[in-house]
Structure formats: C-alpha cells, structure tokens
Structure 1
C-alpha cells in the first residue's frame, strides 16, 4: 500500500460547501501514479500501455476544504491482463470515500489487451 496527500483547493468546493463529487475520482487517479510508473517508468504518453476499464467511488462522508486528504492505494485482484486498484480517502482520521479502478495492460497499436508478465505481477504484488 502507498499513500498520497491531497490538499483540497477552494475551487474544488461546491455550492454546498464541501468538495465536489467529481474531484475524488481525479484524486484517486493521481494516487495511481506509482502504479503507472511500474508499467511506464518515464510516463511517456507515446509508450502508454494501460487503459481504464471501470472506476467506482463510494462517498462515505463529506469532504471539506481546509483539511488535507490522505489517499491510500493498494492492489486488489490481479488477473491475467488486468488488475484492480483499491483506494481509500481519509480526512481528519475519518474514512470519507472508497473506490476502485480496473486497469488493463493494453497494446494501443494493436488495440488488444496484453498478458501481465511475471515481472509486472511481482511488482503489483508488492503493493497489495
């Protein structure tokens, strides 16, 4: 598992005074950066090899401006060509959101999924 700290910005608040629901999926994507580096250490977009299949977010409590949010990320299920990132968002020691993202190891030139190598699987296992 690894952790990222997000500092909510004023522009991310909504009319109700809390962080807008569209922001949390972006925070979760940012928190997946270390996973992206496993597949593409330079994050060169011309060599990108992951595609997003599905995301979901469960909003557990309201999130507020002015207090940091810790995003905890780990790998859940690992399949033959895909894997699941699991996220938790914590603010002031309270779980405020959870979510998952299913990512597929993908060859964009051929437009087909690829099998995860033993080396990639081993790296993903390190963050379970």
Structure 2
C-alpha cells in the first residue's frame, strides 16, 4: 500500500505543477492577446512590444515548468517501479497489482502540447488562437 500512496502523492505533485503552469500559460497568453488587440485597434502605440514579450515569457515559463515537472514525474515513477520490482523479486512485497500509466501524466502531456501551440501562436501570429 505504501507504493500506491507514494504514486498518488507523485500524481498530486504533478497536478500542482500543472495548475501553476495552466495559470502562467493562460495569463501570459491573455496579456499578449489583449495588448495585441489594443495595438491592432490603434488604442496604443505601434512600437511598444513589452506587453507581448512579457506575455510570451509567462507562456514560455509555464511550458518549461510543465516540461520539467513531467520529466521529474517520469524519472521518479521509473525509480519507484525499479524499487518495487526489486522488492518483489526479494519476496518483501507481493507486487502483483499492475502499475498503469498515470492519467495525470497523459493530461499534462496534452497540456504541454497546448502550451507549445500557444507559444507558436504568440510568436508567429498564426493559428486559431491569434
């Protein structure tokens, strides 16, 4: 049971990273798009790109944070599986229950794709998000 609790704890950690990443990505994208619309409607001067760069930096930070969180999650789960297999071979635990891929990991990979798409959209001014 302790392996299952540890696995759930790892999933909760990834979910908290996802929550922070979603906040950074959505807030940064909103800032970039809001000021781009103001510039397009001639409400603000054409030369200023500071808000766009700030928004892009926030989106990029969210994507990098999510990428690092996914990498850490994969590394930790691999280590946990190796430890569980070793303990099963030694007869210390039963270890018959499967260790499936985490749904949290799949959702975070989808979010990573959306974040990368948002970066491309802000940088290149293309796509349905622009």
TM bucket normalised to smaller: under 0.3
Which has a greater percent of helix? Answer: 2
Larger Rg: 2
Query: Quick one: higher RCO (CA 8 Å, sep 6+), 1 or 2?
Result: 2
TM-score by length of 2: 0.24
TM-score by length of 1: 0.25
Which has a greater percent of strand? Answer: 1
